[in-house]
A and B are shown apart, each in its own frame.
Chain A
Amino acid sequence: MKLKYFAWVRERIGKTEEIVEPPPEVRTVGELIGWLASRDDGYAHAFEKPTVIRAAIDHAHVKQDAAIVGAREIAFFPPMTGG
């Protein structure tokens, strides 16, 4: 699946997007955050406060208990500040 990152999540991880294949036990958005946070210091910094992180699957907002099965694109970003 493709992952995309925005704003300070993107800056801390150091990339705008990537393709990942998480292990089968990673089933939800929250578990994916936990798995990513264990990869290196940049990811750990980006996801240090998991409850602040917002996520979208295939361009729609989701909660962290959402299943990731079948997702083509998952995005992680801070709370939005547009408008």
Chain B
Amino acid sequence: MPVAATIRIQEADFDVAQEIAALSKDRTDVGAVVSFSGICRGSEQGEPIAALTLEHYPGMAEAEISRHADEALARWPLQGLTIIHRFGRIAPGENIVLVVTASAHRQAAFEAAEFLMDYLKTNAPFWKREESARGTSWIEARDHDDAAAARWTKS
């Protein structure tokens, strides 16, 4: 049976435990579930921040994440996949992003989750702006995120 990914782009928070449980509920073929949660830190490069605001490109965000979900489903034998990315104002300690992968064995679940996060960082159209005592500023992209995504490119 083809696996359909669940992809949600939303302003509201999500329940990590509920999303993990949903991927193995009522089935016995799932032997491994891996989850990655991205959480808003309370400081950025040593400076305390009040919040992050995430801007996104509606329509393209869904399309781009769907393309990467399809690629993950083609490359690894997954039995379930959930990707949730929030937008709007997010306070320190709150969830930003969730990737959950389910497979018969752990290796596929680990690798697919890491692949998806590396690609979300560099290709999903979201932009973080930080609020701090000094005002607001856009967070700059990091070269090591590009390098992390590039290692998944097939040669």
Tell whether A pairs with B. Answer: yes
Closest A residue to B118 by beta carbon equals: A83
Enumerate chain B residues within 8 angstroms of A56, measured Cβ to Cβ.
57, 60, 125
Asked if B59 and A6 make an inter-chain contact with CB atoms under 8 angstroms apart, the answer reads: no
**A-B CB proximity, top 10 nearest:** A82-B126, A79-B141, A7-B127, A83-B121, A59-B60, A83-B120, A59-B63, A81-B128, A82-B124, A81-B139
A60 within 8 A of B: yes
The interface on chain A, measured as residues whose beta carbon lies within 8 A of the other chain's beta carbons, has a size of 16
Question: How long is the Cα–Cα vector from A83 to B127 in the complex, in angstroms?
Answer: 9
B152 within 8 A of A: no
Which residues does A use to contact B, with CB under 8 Å? 4, 6-8, 56, 59-61, 75, 77-83
Enumerate chain B residues within 8 angstroms of A83, measured Cβ to Cβ.
38, 85, 96-97, 117, 120-121, 124, 126, 145
Enumerate chain A residues within 8 angstroms of B57, measured Cβ to Cβ.
4, 6, 56, 59, 75, 77
Question: How long is the Cα–Cα vector from A29 to B51 in the complex, in angstroms?
Answer: 34
Asked if A8 and B138 make an inter-chain contact with CB atoms under 8 angstroms apart, the answer reads: yes
B123 within 8 A of A: yes
Question: How long is the Cα–Cα vector from A8 to B139 in the complex, in angstroms?
Answer: 10
Q: 18 extra interchain contacts, Cβ-Cβ under 8 A, other than A80-B121, A82-B56, A82-B125?
A: A6-B55, A8-B138, A56-B60, A59-B59, A60-B63, A61-B64, A77-B125, A77-B127, A80-B123, A80-B127, A81-B127, A81-B141, A82-B54, A82-B97, A82-B127, A83-B38, A83-B126, A83-B145
